[in-house]
Amino acid sequence: MSKYREIYDYIKNEIVTGQVGYGGRLPSVRKASALFSVSRTTVQSAYFALSEDGYIISEPQSGYYVSYKSPAAQGEIGKKEAAKILFDLSGTRADPESFDFREWQRHMRYALRQTDRLLSYGEPQGEAQLREAVSQYILEKRNVAAGPERIVIGAGVQSLLHVLCALTRERGSVSFPDRSFVQGSALFESYGFDVRYRFKDADIIYVSPSHMTRWGDVMPNRRRIELVRHSAARGSLVIEDDYESDFQYNSRPAPSLYALSGGENVVYIGSFSRLLLPSIRISFMVLTPRLARLYAENIRKFSQTAGKTEQLALCSYIRSGRLMAQIRKTRRFYTAKAKIFCGILKKRLAGCKIELSENLLQVILEAPFSGRAEDFEKSGIRLFVEKYENGRITLVLSPSAVCQGSLEDAANALHGVLKL
């Protein structure tokens, strides 16, 4: 074993076992070189590698500090920030194992090095490079054929809907599938739209065909065709939020409304938060040719919300081919976990109605219950209560953020609250 590796392992061990805690200072290179009787170069290499691997951080003119938090320390921080959630079944967190952080960090570092580009404001529509990459990606993936000039980037779906609302103000009514997407319905409302639910004759129809309800229902192909025909005949605009289409279990996912319609009256929206990291706030929409012209004419009115650094990093990530690999990995990973969790629950909570959602990502549980809906959160379980009436409760459980080894414990915790 090389000297450098020896020092790396020694310090890493000190850190991981908590001998040197979070924020603790490491000996200077000079000191460590004397301490370990090696050259300064060797110490430097070890420090570089430790910093690359996230164990330490170098503060210029100051020294090296431990940046690694032991799981115990992390627990402590978590406690302060919120009620301690032991099992997050709400589906709003990602499993660390599903995402290769090192890979993402590499693309971010690459973006941060493009200093010349970072010195100026971004393009209002989103970086041209990224729009180009997205254009190829959605063609390949969802048969959505649209050039980069029709793609608008934004920080989350809400930012994109702001642009859309400003472009479609003459349209009076908008329909949502249900009341769960408050950020969308409230926004249309504040722009003066008449917000309706499941109203097929609305001027704008918002749907997420791959995740229609919290239950994860997928819109059948027959209904997709109906919707496309009806809206084309009426001249209404369909907003297709293709949320979670990548997670469909069929080898061939259902066709996008955009592809079925030819794209004349469908605005296609996609997002990377679920595939990569919830904290990466980059979404995109494909405007119809008419709306794209309108957007171009009014471009001075809009500013870009997505950060330039993350846009450049995402572009590099897509181009490297990692996105497709990540999709395959995440799909396998999350559907397998939901299946396992469903099996565990069926064994542990015999007598309840338990089934896997249509998109294979969630478990729907219906059980007799006499407690209060808040009891779950109080017991450290975060989840969605879909319905609670007449002594029966329906829960939507997304195990994606719970590591596989803890699924058993999550089932036990649920069992405890349900008092079965």
CB of 303 to a second copy, least distance (A): 5
Site residues for a second copy, window 214-253 (CB under 8 A)?
none
Does residue 115 belong to the site contacting a second copy (CB under 8 A)? yes
Burial class of 115 by CB neighbour count within 10 A (0 to 12, 13 to 18, 19+): exposed
For residue 258, the one-letter residue type is: Y
Does residue 406 belong to the site contacting a second copy (CB under 8 A)? no
Residue 329 CB neighbour total at 10 angstroms: 16
Nearer to a second copy, 309 or 412 (CB): 309
Does residue 96 belong to the site contacting a second copy (CB under 8 A)? yes
Nearer to a second copy, 158 or 404 (CB): 158
Q: Binding-site residue total for a second copy (CB under 8 A)?
A: 81
Site residues for a second copy, window 65-94 (CB under 8 A)?
67, 69, 74, 78, 81, 92-94
From candidates 310, 341, 395, 417, binder to a second copy by CB under 8 A: 310
> How many Å apart are CA 20 and CA 13, to the nearest integer?
9
Binding mask 346-385 for a second copy (x = CB under 8 A): ----------------------------------------
| 3-state SS, residue 167 | helix
Here the contacts of 82-85 (C-beta below 8 Å, separation 24 or greater) are: 83/377, 83/378, 83/380, 84/380, 85/377, 85/380, 85/381, 85/382
How distant, in Å, are the alpha carbons of 145, 194, 359 from that of 197? 30, 10, 23
Q: DSSP assignment of 234-268, as one string?
A: HTPEEEEE-TTGGG-SSSSPPPPHHHHHTTSSEEE
Site residues for a second copy, window 185-204 (CB under 8 A)?
186-187, 190-192
Site residues for a second copy, window 10-29 (CB under 8 A)?
none
For residue 7, the one-letter residue type is: I
Nearer to a second copy, 1 or 233 (CB): 1
Site residues for a second copy, window 135-164 (CB under 8 A)?
155-159, 162
For residue 285, the one-letter residue type is: M
From candidates 301, 347, 372, 378, binder to a second copy by CB under 8 A: 301
> How many Å apart are CA 404 and CA 337, to the nearest integer?
7
From candidates 14, 76, 103, 194, binder to a second copy by CB under 8 A: 103
Nearer to a second copy, 35 or 299 (CB): 299
Q: Which residues pair with 241 in a beta bridge?
A: 269
From candidates 16, 23, 30, 54, binder to a second copy by CB under 8 A: 54
Residue 292 CB neighbour total at 10 angstroms: 20
CB of 310 to a second copy, least distance (A): 5
Does residue 298 belong to the site contacting a second copy (CB under 8 A)? yes
Token pair listed for 181: 């997407």
Residue among 336, 382, 337, 345 at smallest CA distance from 366: 345
Does residue 212 belong to the site contacting a second copy (CB under 8 A)? no
Nearer to a second copy, 253 or 270 (CB): 270
From candidates 25, 109, 328, 353, binder to a second copy by CB under 8 A: 109
Site residues for a second copy, window 30-49 (CB under 8 A)?
41-42, 44-45, 48-49
